[in-house]
A = this chain, B = another copy of it.
Amino acid sequence: MKKKSDPVGAAETARSGGNPGRIHGAIARTLGIAIVSGQHQPGEILTNEIESSELLNVSRSAYREAVRILAAKGLVESRPKTGTRVSAKARWNLLDPEVLAWLFESEPSEDFLRGLFELRMIVEPAAAALAAERRDEGQLERMRQALIEMQQQTLATEAGQAADRDFHDTVLEATDNAALFTLSSSIGAAVRWTTIFKQRKRELPRDPMPDHWKVFDAIAARRPDAAKAAMERLVGLALDDTRASIDPKD
């Protein structure tokens, strides 16, 4: 007879992301964070399913489903006899939205952050340029509405942040490129998550609206180069802000 209280242990705090409330989702999250944060080194072998599930006070099937999730994201690999081992970092799907979220929950390494912004700096300006060439009137109108909403609500409110998301998502949609959309939207979501931290530590570091409008105007005018340049500035500022919120020198 085992005690049935407090299943999943400390993992019950799972709310955001994949499978809120579900046990397998919570375990995947906990284990995932432990892995991406380096608590389990690549090559390390996790304790076997029986012991692990007993330790967490969950059934073996629930634990197994959690491991399947991690395996699907490239974080672990399971084989009979050997067990389940943490995969080499090169196999991790770092662009998976959940993996990204887990990374950001445990203070990502400065190196990784640098790389992520480097990638944004490559991709997002190019996306803005494509959007300037391909956007239709409906998308343009949605961008305008989003910016107006954002201006009224400011980034301090939930509605304002939603408007910001809408704007950027519509820009991506206007590129008419599914792969690009997936990439940027998952990175954007993860980074925006960090931005919320920033909002708590210091007040709005600067007014983001003028730069947003510059991007909009360039897209509206169908000027790819201008859109690219404006988006570069926007991402650059986001980098500064994020850096300020990470660095302890304040």
- Taking Cβ atoms with an 8 Å cutoff, the residues of A that contact B are 18-19, 24, 28, 61, 64-65, 68-69, 71-74, 89-90, 92-98, 111-112, 114-116, 118-119, 122-123, 126, 130, 176-183, 185-187
Contacts and interface: CB of A to CB of B under 8 A. Distances in A.
Given A18-B72, A123-B123, 11 more contacts: A18-B71, A65-B65, A72-B72, A72-B96, A93-B182, A95-B95, A112-B179, A118-B180, A119-B179, A122-B122, A179-B187
Contacts of A187: 179
B94 A96 contact: no
A46 B118 CA distance: 40
A108 to B, nearest CB: 10
Copies in the complex: 2
Nearest to A130: B118
A103 to B, nearest CB: 10
B115 A177 contact: yes
A133 to B, nearest CB: 11
Contacts of A24: 68
Given A64-B65, A130-B118, A182 B71 contact: no
